[in-house]
Structure 1
Amino acid sequence: MEIKARGLTFEVSAAGPEDGEPVLLLHGFPQDNREFDRLVPYLHEAGLRTYALNQRGYSPGARPQEVSAYRLREAVADAIAVLDELGIEKVHVVGHDWGAQIAWLLAANHPGRLRTLTAVSVPHPRALMLAIRVRPSQKARLAYFEVFRSPRAERLLLGRDAAVLRWMLKPLRAERVQRYVDAAREPGRLTGGLNWYRAFTTDQIAKTGVITVPTTYVWSDRDGVVGLTAALRTADWVSADYQLMAMRGVSHWVPEEAPQELADAVLARIGV
C-alpha cells in the first residue's frame, strides 16, 4: 500500500491477520522492507499483523533532495505519521541497522506509542558512543561512515558491476544481493540511502534517554559493525524488562541470515 504522510508517499507492505497486533518493521541500508520477507511468515503464523515500511530515500515518493531532510528526527517523525495514517495507536517495533537506530529513538521519545522494541544489530546509541570512546576497535568498525558520506560514494558502491555493494552483502544468497543491487541503480535510490550517513551528526543521538518499554537487543558475533562492548552496555540504557540475544555465526544481516531465530526473539518479546 501507499501511505501519504508529511507531504511524502511511503510504500508499506502490510500482511498477516487483519485483527492481529500490529508490528512495525524498519529496515536498514542498503536494503529495503524486503529484508523482512523471510521473517514475517513466522510472525503471521503467530497471529501478528506486520507493516514493513520503506523509509525516506527508499520509497520513490519520499526522496527529498536536501541532505538535511535525512536527519534522524525526520525518519522518526515519518514512522509516527505513518502509524497515525494507519490508525495504529500502539505498536510492536522491530528495527534493523538504521531501522534499529530509529526504533531506539522512537522508544526513547515516544514510549507511549510502543508496546515492545526489538532492536537488531545496532545497540542503544549511548552504549555505542561509549564503546567508540573506550574501544578503538569499535571506532575502526565505523570508519566506513566517512566513505559513505563522500560525494563519490555512489560511484564507489556501484562501480565495476557494484563490486563493493556485492562484497558488503556477500553473506546473503546471490539472488537477494542482486535485488538490492538492482534497486540501488534506480534513480535517486542509492543517494537517498547514503544521505542518511551524510546527514548524521552525533548530536542527534547524544541525548537519547533510558528506554522504558520492554526491549530485546539482538547482536551477532560476526557483525562487522558492532562489537561486544556496545552490545553488553546496552543493558545500562533500558529500565524495563530487557534481554540481550547473542547469535553465533551470524553476520550483520540478521533478518535474512537467521529469520527463524530472530522470529523466536521477536515473539518471545511480544509474548505470543
Structure 2
Amino acid sequence: MGTFDAVAAGPRSGRKVLLLHGFPEFGIEWEHQLRGLAAAGYRAIAPDQRGYSPGVRPSAVGAYQLEHAVSDVEAMADALGWRRFDLVGHDWGAAVGWIAAARYGGRVRSLAAVSVPHLGAFAQALREDPAQQQKSVYMDTFRQPSPGPENTILAAGPPTLPGVPAEKCAEYFRRLSEPGALTAALNWYRANDFEGFTETVAAPTLFIASTLDPFVAPSGVHATSQWVTGPYRLVNLEGIGHNVPEQAADTTTSLLLAHLSNVGRTGP
C-alpha cells in the first residue's frame, strides 16, 4: 500500500482518534484539534490521505474511488495496532468517515463529520436539489481531464480560504505544487459521484455543519439524520463557511471534546 505521512499528538496510551482532512488541506488542517485532544489525554493522528502522501500516490484515477480511501482507514488502524478508535473527518474526510463508520462499526467507537452530509443524503441532494447542484458546479471543472484544472489552479497561486491564515494556505499550495500531488487530489473528484453509499451509521455521531458553506446546501444537512440509527447530534454553526476546523477552530475543538467525552460515558 505504501506509507502515509501524518501528524500526531498526545500520549500513546490515550484513547485513539483518527482525523481525516479534505481538499485542499492536509493533516495539518487539524493542528488546533490535535493540540486540544492531546491536552485532554487522547492519542490523535491526522494522516495525509492517499494522493496527498507521496508514499501513497497511485497514478490511476480509479485508485481514488472512495472504496480505497475507506479501506485505508482500516489499514491505518491495523498498522497502528488500534482495535477501537474514534473517527473524525472534514470535507472528503467526512465522506470517507461516513462510509467507514457504517462498515467498521465494530471498531469505530464514534464519528464526528464536518461539513459534508452522509453520502446518501448528499447524493439525493445532488440529484434533486437545484441549490446543491449549483453549489457543486465546481466539481465539473475539477473533473476535467488532466492537466487542464491543474494548470488553472497552479497559475492562480495560493488559495484564499476563509478563516485560514495566509501562511497555512501557502503551505497547502506548496505541497500541492509538488509533482503529481494536485493531480492526485483532483482524482478524488474524477473518480467519485457519491452514489451507492446507502449504509446507515449506528455509532454515536456528531455532524458539524455551517450556514455559510458555499459547497453544501441545507437539504443534505437536514436529511442526514435519516441515515444515522445511533445517537445523533447536528450543530449548524452560524456565519461560518466550509473550512470549519480552521475558521471555527476553538468551537470545533470544544464540540469534538464534548462529543468524545459523552461517548466515553455511554459506551465502551
Q: Would you say same fold, with TM above 0.5?
A: yes
Secondary structure of 1:251's match?
coil
Residues 1:181 and 2:173 aligned together = yes
- 1:261 aligned residue (222, 238, 251): 251
Residues 26, 33 of structure 1: 8 Å contact kept? yes
- In structure 2, C-alpha distance between the alignment counterparts of 1:134 and 1:62, rounded to whole Å: 35
- In structure 2, C-alpha distance between the alignment counterparts of 1:207 and 1:142, rounded to whole Å: 18
Residues 1:67 and 2:61 aligned together = yes
**Match for residue 58 of structure 1?**
52
- In structure 1, C-alpha distance between the alignment counterparts of 2:17 and 2:181, rounded to whole Å: 25
**Match for residue 19 of structure 1?**
13
State the Cα deviation string for residues 48-82 of structure 1 (Å, max 9, x = none).
Answer: 11011111101111100111111101111111111
Residues 1:226 and 2:216 aligned together = yes
- In structure 1, C-alpha distance between the alignment counterparts of 2:247 and 2:241, rounded to whole Å: 8
Secondary structure of 2:124's match?
helix
Secondary structure of 1:8's match?
coil
**Match for residue 214 of structure 1?**
204
- 1:49 aligned residue (43, 46, 59): 43
Unaligned runs of 5+ in 1: 1-6
Unaligned runs of 5+ in 2: 263-268
Amino acid corresponding to residue 63 of structure 2 in structure 1: A
Taking structure 2 as the reference length, what is the TM-score of the superposition?
0.93
**Match for residue 237 of structure 2?**
247
Aligned-residue offset at 1:207 = 3.5
**Match for residue 3 of structure 1?**
none
Residues 91, 115 of structure 1: 8 Å contact kept? yes
Residues 1:105 and 2:95 aligned together = no
Residues 170, 177 of structure 1: 8 Å contact kept? no
- In structure 1, C-alpha distance between the alignment counterparts of 2:179 and 2:226, rounded to whole Å: 42
Secondary structure of 1:122's match?
coil
- In structure 2, C-alpha distance between the alignment counterparts of 1:207 and 1:28, rounded to whole Å: 19
**Match for residue 114 of structure 1?**
108
State the Cα deviation string for residues 191-241 of structure 1 (Å, max 9, x = none).
Answer: 1100101111344xx232111000010001111111111111111111100
**Match for residue 153 of structure 2?**
157
- In structure 1, C-alpha distance between the alignment counterparts of 2:193 and 2:246, rounded to whole Å: 29
**Match for residue 70 of structure 2?**
76
- In structure 2, C-alpha distance between the alignment counterparts of 1:191 and 1:134, rounded to whole Å: 30
Amino acid corresponding to residue 174 of structure 1 in structure 2: A
Aligned-residue offset at 1:170 = 4.3
Secondary structure of 2:32's match?
coil
Residues 34, 45 of structure 2: 8 Å contact kept? no
State the Cα deviation string for residues 125-161 of structure 1 (Å, max 9, x = none).
Answer: 111122223320111101111100112110111114x
Taking structure 1 as the reference length, what is the TM-score of the superposition?
0.92
State the Cα deviation string for residues 87-106 of structure 1 (Å, max 9, x = none).
Answer: 00111001000000000010
**Match for residue 136 of structure 1?**
130
Runs of 4+ displaced beyond 4 Å: none
Aligned-residue offset at 1:24 = 0.1
- Relative to 1, partners in 2 of residues 1:202 and 1:52: Cα closer, same or farther, differing over 3 Å? closer
- In structure 2, C-alpha distance between the alignment counterparts of 1:172 and 1:191, rounded to whole Å: 23
Q: What is the aligned-residue RMSD (CA, Å)? A: 1.3
Amino acid corresponding to residue 164 of structure 2 in structure 1: L
Residues 1:238 and 2:228 aligned together = yes
Residues 214, 240 of structure 1: 8 Å contact kept? yes
Amino acid corresponding to residue 238 of structure 1 in structure 2: V
- In structure 2, C-alpha distance between the alignment counterparts of 1:143 and 1:196, rounded to whole Å: 15
- In structure 1, C-alpha distance between the alignment counterparts of 2:99 and 2:128, rounded to whole Å: 23
Q: Size of the alignment, in residue pairs?
A: 260
- In structure 2, C-alpha distance between the alignment counterparts of 1:18 and 1:207, rounded to whole Å: 33
Q: Which moved more, 1:31-40 or 1:260-269?
A: 260-269
**Match for residue 192 of structure 2?**
200
